[in-house]
Amino acid sequence: MDLSLIRKNISNSFNCFLDLLYPNLCIACEGRTHGREELFCLSCQYQVHPTYMEQLKENEFTQHFKGRIPIVAGASLYYYSKGSKVQKALELLKYRGEYEIGIRIGQHFGKLLKSIEAFQNLDYIIPVPLHPKRKIQRGYNQSAQFAKGLSDSLACPYREDILIRTKETITQTTKNRIERNQNIQSAFQLKRPDLIKGSYVLLVDDILTTGATLESCALTLQQTEQVAISMATIAITS
C-alpha cells in the first residue's frame, strides 16, 4: 500500500470518528449530512438551487447593477424563494442565533470563488453593516459571519470597521424604488477611506432583492479614490 493511500485511509477514519463525535448537521433541517463539507442533508440538497453564476462574467447579478453602479464581478450562491430550504437556513442565521450557518456558507462559497479569476487579488471583504442597535439585539451581523467564512477560504481579511451604518432603515415594503433609494442613501458612512484607497474589495450581504442596500454601500465606498468593487450574496430572489 503506498503512503498516500495510507494517509487517505487515516484521514477517512478520522473523519468518520469526527462524524460520530460531532455530526455535521444540515443548515436547514439539522439532519445529518452525508459528508463533512456538505451544507445540506441529501433530502434538502435536492430542493436547493445553486445559481453557478460566479462562472459567468455577465450574469443576473451583474445585470441587476448595470447602469446603476460599476462592479467588477458579482454572484449569489443560491436562488431564493419563499418556503425554500434556503429561506429556512437564512431564517435560522438571522433570527435564531445560528451564526455558524453564515460562516459555513461563506467557507463553501469561498472555495467556489477561489478558482474564478475575477474574485482573486481581493484586498478586503466588507459586509453590509447592521445598525449598532440591531447588532446588539441580534448579537452579531449575519453578513459579517458570511464574510468571515469567505475570508477563511479566500485567505483575504474581512473588516467590519471600514463601512458603518449610521441610520436604521425603516420598513421599505410600501415604498417604490426611488423612495427606497432615498431612504437608504446616507444610511452608511465610510470610516476608513485610507484603508481602501486604490484597493479591490468584495462587498457582501445575505440576500439580493432590490439591490438598494448594496448600491448605497458601494456608493459610500466610492467616496474614496480608485476603489474597485465586486459583490457576493448568499441568495438572490428569483
Q: Enumerate binding residues for Zn ion (CB under 5 A).
A: 26, 28-29, 31, 41, 44
CB count in 10 Å sphere of residue 219: 18
Question: How much is the CA Rg of the chain, to the nearest whole Å?
Answer: 19
Of 28 and 69, which CB lies nearer to Zn ion in the complex structure?
28
Nearest CB to Zn ion, comparing residues 33 and 151:
33
Nearest distance in Å: CB 32, Zn ion: 9
Residue among 62 and 84 whose Cβ is closer to Zn ion: 84
Cα separation, 112 vs 162, in Å, equals: 25
CB of 17 to Zn ion, least distance (A): 23
Shortest Å distance, C-beta 86 to Zn ion: 11
CA dist 40 and 33 (Å) reads 6
Pairing mode, strands 124-127 and 163-165:
unpaired
Please, which residue, 12 or 43, has the CB nearer to Zn ion? 43
Q: How far is the CB of 88 from Zn ion (least distance, A)?
A: 9
Min CB(26)–Zn ion separation in Å: 3
Residues with Cβ within 8 Å of residue 47, at least 6 apart in sequence: 84, 85
In which element (H, E) is residue 86 found? helix 85-95
Q: CB under 8 Å to 208, separation ≥6 — which residues?
A: 61, 64, 76, 214, 231, 233, 235, 236, 237
Residue 19 CB, nearest distance to Zn ion (Å)?
Answer: 16
Residues in the chain: 238
| CA distances in angstroms from 9 to 35, 40, 162, listed in the order given | 15, 25, 45
Q: Which is nearer to Zn ion, 88 or 175 (CB)?
A: 88
Minimum gap (Å) between residue 89 Cβ and Zn ion: 9
Q: How far is C-alpha 49 from the chain's CA centre?
A: 16
Q: Which is nearer to Zn ion, 28 or 105 (CB)?
A: 28
Q: CB nearer to Zn ion: give 39 or 214.
A: 39
Q: What is the DSSP letter of 119?
A: G
